[in-house]
Amino acid sequence: MAHKSIKARTATRIIKGIMISGVALLCTAGVLAIFAGDALGKSSSGSISAALEPRQIPLGGTAMLSVTLSGIEMAQPSLPRVNGLHFIPAGQSSEYRSVNGRISSTVSYLYQVQAEHSGDFTIPPVEATINGRIKRTQPLSFRVLKSGGKTGAYSRALPSPRSGVSGTSAPLSRDEANQVVFLRVIPAKGRSYVGEMVPVEIRAYFRDRLQATLSSLPLINGDAFVWQSLSKEPQQAREDIDGHANNVWTWHTAMSGVKEGEYPLEVQLDVTVIVPRTSRRMRSPFGRDFFHDDFFDNFFSQGERKTIRVASLPRGMQVLSLPQQGRPDNFSGAVGRFKLSATASPRDAMAGDPITLKMRVRGSGNFDRVSSPVLSSQKGWKTYTPGAVFKPSDSSGARGEKIFEQAIIPLDGSIREIPPVVFSYFDTKTQKYVNLHTKHIPVKIARASSGNQETASQSSDFQPGASSVKKSATSATDVLMEGSKKGGLAPIQVTLGPVVSTLRPMVENPWFVGAQGIPLGALFTGLFLGRRRRRMTHDPKLARKKHAKQMITRAVRQMDRNIAAYDVVGFFQACRCAAQERLGEVWALPPDCITLAEVKERLPENAAGIRQVFETADAVAYSGQSFTQDELRKCRELVIQELRNLEGKR
């Protein structure tokens, strides 16, 4: 029994557990289904919201109403009519999302809200059909104060203009009146000729206090016109049109029609507008507190950036073709009004020398079609393709000066003037073709002295500096024919001639530079020797002294050699020779004249050593007296000592 009851209780517990788990699973699934259904229902049904900033404006001011729609299929919202309020469309922005393969979008419509009179207004719910259902926003309250109240969020709109020029523009069209940003393209004239340069102004108008920035430069539609580049910095100004203040940004450019007909001029511009977000802070139940001041509203609600594209109203432009009648042969398509002048330099030259002809075309028109004026007669002249420089004097490039420089070569020494240069254009004012001529330019051309004068007239037609012509392979046959027909170049050399390994000059060769030391050294040696010779010539005592010194040195060497050779006779002869040289120097006598008798007579008693040298030398020469080598060495020392003593007595 007890065992059965235990089993039954266990089974009951298991069944209860299973039931509880099933109920929990069902509840979880239900909750998930509810949330998912809600989410799906929300997503599928879509939503709409509206925000108005600021909620309070002075009379004459503007507020911005933003209506945001989210869903898959949406229609444009219909704004309710409110007596005393105007809703002006100011553009829209879109955002697309893809969630689980379903694409939804969010579109924001912007309206500028203006009031006719002061007072409290209530904007009823804005309706829109989203995903097939009509959705409504909450009503919005709005207060308009009398003039002089606080300014709203748009007081920090476009930057204040740099120049306070108040322009006079055409009144607003119906479409422009509904826009806070609009564009106008204003050509200087509504009708032009093909190629005629027409100055154009592109103006972007921003309602006062609108916060906006440019996202692009104006984009020009259509291919019937060629446009010059826009001015880099737009000119800024403030204009009142139909009582509305506008900040105006103006770009200057110019355009020219490329084909005949009537074509629209249309410009687009991307602008980023800052739309203020609705303040989500709770309102104080006790009225406006300190932090609900407009300043803090503006500070804390930075706004949302929305990029919109605005387009100008198409404006028709008629392009006329240029008349065929009276068109000059050298007409290159220049249309406008121009003046021509020309100068030449040098005006004193030889035949064959190049002269630079400078031609200036100034005025207004399509300078890109202004080609170089040409000489009315090229007889006797060789001309080269001119170079051109254009210097615009306005931002559109329709006015300015184009300068052409052309090299011309007189081929004849009899030429006395440069013929007039001619330039043709179509005058848009008189609607006729005009041929401009300069005056003759007098020049002095001397005849070339060499036989090469003819070469200028025989030159070929290629242009210097024109790489395309230069690098093109010239037909060899043509060149040879040219050479044979026109005299050509002097013939080539048939032998190689002396060859050098380098073109560097000899003067840079270090060996050569070093070799120049030899003649320079010889020069200095000559200078030294010449000076020495002069000194010797003018000072005989010095010469005698130097000579005696040299001879004594030689005699001493001879003494040493005789000692080594044990030549007693030779030794004493060398001793006597040395003594004679010294005494000759001291007594200013020739050494050969000094004998033993002279020595005995002139030398004092204490110079016994010298006397003994002379006596011994005679004795050895005539008696054959012998000495040992040691005695000869002692004798040598004695002689040298005596010579020094004599030197000291000079």
Partner 1 sequence: MITTAIAARRMIVTHLLFAGTLAFLMCSFPPTAAGADAEAIFSQGNQAYTEGKFDDAIALYTDVMRSAGFSASLLYNMANAYYQKKDVGQAILNYERALFLDPGNPDIEANLYRAKKEFGLKNEPPPHWKKARNTLTLDQWTWLGSMSLAGFSILFLFGCVGQKKPSRPLFRVIGGAFVLLFLVSGTATTSRYMDMNQGVITGDDASLRVSPFASASKTTRIKDGELVRIAKTYKDFVLVKPSAGNSGWIAKKEIEPVIPVQDWDKHVPETRNKTRNSLWAHAKNSR
Q: Which chain residues interact with partner 1 by CB under 8 A?
A: 352-354, 384, 387, 407, 409, 449-452, 455-456, 459-460, 462, 464-465, 467, 469-471, 473-474, 476-477, 479-480, 483, 489-507, 509, 511-512, 514-516, 518-523, 525-527, 529-530, 533, 550-551, 554
Do the beta carbons of residue 273 and residue 303 sit within 8 Å? no
Nearer to partner 1, 496 or 588 (CB): 496
Instruction: State in angstroms the smallest separation of the CB of 172 from partner 1.
Output: 46
Q: Which is nearer to partner 1, 398 or 409 (CB)?
A: 409
DSSP string, 596-633: HHHHHHHS-TT-HHHHHHHHHHHHHHHH-----HHHHH
* Amino acid at site 616: T
Q: Look up residue 650 and give its amino acid.
A: R
Between 309 and 533, name the residue whose CB sits nearer to partner 1.
Answer: 533
Token digits for 342? 């020309």
Which distant-in-sequence residues (6+ apart) come within 8 Å of 538 by Cβ? none
Closest separation between CB of residue 515 and partner 1, Å? Answer: 4
CB of 501 to partner 1, least distance (A): 4
Strand, coil or helix: 271: strand
Neighbours of 442 (CB within 10 A): 10
Looking at the Cβ atoms of 159 and 505, the one nearer to partner 1 is: 505
Q: Which is nearer to partner 1, 20 or 522 (by Cβ)?
A: 522
Q: How far is the CB of 461 from partner 1 (least distance, A)?
A: 11
H/E stretch holding 359: strand 355-365
- Distance CA(135)–CA(143), nearest Å, equals 25
Provide, rounded to whole angstroms, the least separation between the CB of residue 112 and partner 1: 48
Cis status of the peptide bond prior to 498, with omega within 30 of 0? no
> Which one, 99 or 389, has the nearer CB to partner 1?
389
H or E element, residue 521: helix 517-538
Main-chain phi, psi angles of 413, to 5 degrees:
-70, -10
Q: How far is CA 447 from CA 24, 354, 409, 558, in A?
A: 120, 14, 13, 89
Q: What number of other Cβ atoms are within 10 A of residue 249's Cβ?
A: 20
Q: Is 49 helix (H, G, I), strand (E, B) or coil?
A: strand
CB of 368 to partner 1, least distance (A): 20
H/E element, 554 = helix 540-565
The DSSP H or E segment spanning 24 is helix 2-45
Q: Which CB atom, from 139 or from 517, has the smaller least distance to partner 1?
A: 517
Q: What distance in Å separates the CA atoms of residue 527 and residue 519, rounded to the nearest whole number?
A: 12
Minimum CB distance to partner 1 smaller for 44 or for 457: 457
CA-to-CA distance for 252 and 229, rounded, in angstroms? 9
C-alpha to C-alpha distance for 393 and 389, rounded to whole angstroms? 13
**Least Å distance between CB 359 and partner 1?**
17
Nearer Cβ to partner 1 (79/574)? 574
Choice between 51 and 357, CB closer to partner 1: 357
Distance in Å, CB of 355 to partner 1, minimum: 10
* CB closer to partner 1 out of 94 and 550: 550
Least distance (Å) between residue 555 CB and partner 1: 11
- Residue whose CB is less far from partner 1, 500 or 588: 500
**Minimal distance in Å, beta carbon 570 to partner 1?**
14
Nearer to partner 1, 480 or 608 (CB): 480
As measured in angstroms, the least distance from the Cβ of 581 to partner 1 is 11
Shortest gap between Cβ of 412 and partner 1 (angstroms)? 14
Here the tokens at position 536 are: 């010797």
**What does each C-alpha distance from 166 to 169, 202, 416, 464, 506 come to in angstroms?**
9, 17, 60, 55, 80
Tell me whether residue 18 or residue 522 sits nearer to partner 1 (CB atom): 522
- Give the integer Cα–Cα distance in Å for 452 and 461: 18
Q: What angle do the packed helices 517-538 and 540-565 form, to 10 degrees?
A: 100
Residue 268: is it exposed, middle or buried by C-beta count within 10 angstroms (0-12/13-18/19+)?
Answer: middle
64 in Cβ contact with 109 (< 8 Å): no
Report which of 188, 173, 130, 150 is spatially closest to residue 57, judged by C-alpha positions: 150
Look up residue 367 and give its DSSP letter: G
Closer to partner 1 by CB, 52 or 344: give it.
Answer: 344
216: DSSP letter:
S
State the nearest-atom distance from the C-beta of 487 to partner 1, in Å: 9
Least distance from partner 1 to the Cβ atom of residue 637, Å? 25
Taking the least distance from each CB to partner 1, the nearer of 275 and 355 is 355
Alpha-carbon dihedral 49, 55, 60, 61, rounded to 10 degrees: -80
Provide, rounded to whole angstroms, the least separation between the CB of residue 546 and partner 1. Answer: 12
What token pair was written down for 387?
Answer: 């170079």
Work out whether strand 381-383 and strand 399-410 pair parallel, antiparallel, or are unpaired.
Answer: antiparallel
**In terms of Cα–Cα distance, which of 242, 173, 211, 165 is closest to 62?**
211
Instruction: Output the CA torsion 566→567→573→577 (10° steps).
Output: -50
Cβ atoms within 10 A of the Cβ of 122, count?
A: 11
Smallest gap from Cβ 228 to partner 1, in A, equals 22
